[in-house]
Structure 1
């Protein structure tokens, strides 16, 4: 088992805070858990932690800090020691809302992470108390009815270097990757769990550093993905890729751009990896040129767009 429990909360920067907040609350259906200065903390109805997305007003878009929860206090210590040995550590912080001491570091591409273990579980107020005791809160059904944070895709100038760092130092499992004809790596799909992916790196077409490709939020069914597309159309949210199915990881998707410029995915499905000795799937350049699972061509912007914009 990995010494990481799962991908933790993520901070998103937006230069159009009020419009972005309205998107996450009114259109995606997430709930406001707390507000602190320029930041608002949001959660899906199925997130067990107090929050999963931190929306922060900024002069540009992109990702702030990505959290990773360790499996235990001892696992946290071991992962921190591993990061420190690479020279990529920044140091300990007091954490964030509902989160204990956190160790901040950067990956080889410059993205900022924080490892932590201690965190508060969401305690639903009376009007949100669920009928069943094995879920954190009741189903809200508002907007796209986002359930939880699912995965993050980060852009990197050197995918292989970041993938090796995550596998060797953070204890991620590599499930799938893309190797181009020249031997370079264009994408890597990793997870700390049996889920097909939690953390992804894909090649930055501009060879920039520290940029975000997308944040993916989970709904329970394919029908909800298609319903989300209708909601986005009515709300004027630009849809980049209409609902379909990925070949890699087998997940169902909808991609669009929120008002602040960040790419957001509504997702569900995907394969589970139960075998402890599952070999990593390697996709070739020719295989990826076929498009998505049902032959749908991948839109060009999917390979070139990221946040913050390259001119920033």
Structure 2
């Protein structure tokens, strides 16, 4: 059987592959486990996640409320925590094995960063907590408890962890997190070199500075994103994203937002980078939340090239030529100034 040559510019492909930074083998980090969101109005924020997005409350502990999407196999997808200001707290990354967990911890230590073991969340075993160079808190863990739905939430199919919600958008899973960072290259270099993420796309400004970079731990095209913080601040959040089943779910979400008073910042549109169909809204605490449908795009090639977008290309706007709204570049949490 004769192999058919792949069409395209082979020289360009080789150059793009060569532009991909060296990284540890993909697979030690299995996926994003869950994320913590700070809010000054936790009751309203929880109501947004349950009523508008369709998440389920799966426990409360003091200032923390644990919520889950219907297709998550673990105890919780996000933790809503009371704070004076909105923002991102801990991001938990599940390792693929106890050995993989130890390898990644050692890699972080070899990079000169410290961490500590904590056991302060339900449904998961010990977490090794550290920070990225920008100050975002990251927790690595392996032990977990698989969710068992109560009778009223039992699914019709045994290979589904929970019944789909009959209200709200019904988002499927926590999809990705977009951090703001003072130095994108430094923070993403840490995620790539110590945690084994694979960079898939980036923006390089004319002066050579990396303004944004997308990384994946899986065959999804991205899990963690770092975008340059125009204020020079550290440890802030751009947005938290939840995946829907279809594009039509995002259109329905826009109608539901209109009906229920949820603030729409921009969308529905399609990103040029990663080709994600999206809607951005603000939850009551002020954090930006994205509803996205990236399910049509998977990174299957083991030598997937790092795709670089130029400053000129980004000025063209979104995939259909729509200009990016100004607040998308300026709004982050916690607020600055």
| Structure 1 equivalent of residue 95 of structure 2 | 70
Corresponding residue for residue 302 of structure 2: 276
Match of 2:244 among 215, 219, 243: 219
What does residue 119 of structure 1 align with?
Answer: 144
Q: Paired residue for 1:301?
A: 327
| Aligned equivalent of 1:144 | 169
**Among 225, 243, 256, the residue aligned to 2:268:** 243
> How far apart, in 1, do the equivalents of 2:329 and 2:201 lie?
18
State the match for 2:257 in structure 1: 232
Q: Larger Cα Rg: Structure 1 or Structure 2?
A: 2
Cross-structure match for 1:207: 232
How far is 1:2 from its partner?
2.2
Corresponding residue for residue 9 of structure 1: 34
Distance in 1, Cα, partners of 2:275 & 2:297: 6
Cα distance in structure 2, aligned partners of 1:308 and 1:122? 32
Residues 245-304 of structure 1: CA deviation (Å, up to 9, x unaligned):
111111110001111000000111252110000110000000111111111111111111
Q: Which residue of 2 aligns with 1:169?
A: 194
Q: Is structure 2 residue 207 aligned with structure 1 residue 182? A: yes
Give RMSD over aligned pairs: 0.9
How far did 1:95 drift? 4.6
CA deviation profile, 1:14-52 (whole Å, cap 9, x unmatched): 001111111111111111000110111001111111110
TM-score, normalization: structure 2? 0.91
In 2, Cα distance between equivalents of 1:307 and 1:98: 28
In 1, the alpha carbon distance for the partners of 2:188 and 2:80 equals 27
Which 10-residue stretch deviates more, 302-311 or 155-164? 302-311
CA offsets, 1:112-164, max 9 Å, x none?
Answer: 01000001111011121111111111111311111110000000000000111
Instruction: Indicate the larger mover: 123-132 or 159-168.
Output: 123-132
- 1:310 equivalent to 2:321? Answer no
Structure 2 unaligned spans of 5+: 1-25
Structure 1 distance, partners of 2:146, 2:190, is 30
Distance in 1 (CA, whole Å) between partners of 2:227 and 2:303 is: 24
Residue-pair matches, total: 311
TM-score (norm 1): 0.98
Give secondary structure in 2 for the equivalent of 1:213: strand
Cα distance in 2, alignment partners of residues 67 and 273 from structure 1:
22
Give the unaligned 5+ runs of structure 1.
none
Partner Cα distance (2:45, 2:179) in 1: 20
Match of 2:10 in 1: none
The one-character-per-residue Cα deviations of 1:53-96 (angstroms, maximum 9, x if unpaired) are: 10011111001100001111000000000111222222111151
Q: How big is each residue's C-alpha offset from its partner over 1:212-257, in whole Å with a ceiling of 9 and x where there is no partner?
A: 0000011100000010011111111111112111111111100011
* Match of residue 111 from structure 2: 86
- State the shift of 1:173 in Å: 0.3
Q: Distance in 2 between matches of 1:53 and 1:5?
A: 17
Greater Cα offset, 178-187 or 92-101: 92-101
1:265 alignment partner, SS class: strand
Q: Distance in 1 between matches of 2:110 and 2:43?
A: 41
Partner Cα distance (1:10, 1:279) in 2: 28
Report the 3-state secondary structure (helix = DSSP H, G, I; strand = E; otherwise coil) of the residue aligned with 1:87.
coil
SS at structure 2 position matched to 1:79 = helix
Q: Secondary structure at the match of 1:174?
A: strand
Q: Secondary structure at the match of 2:329?
A: helix
Determine the structure 1 residue equivalent to 2:311: 285
Question: SS of the residue aligned with 1:274?
Answer: coil
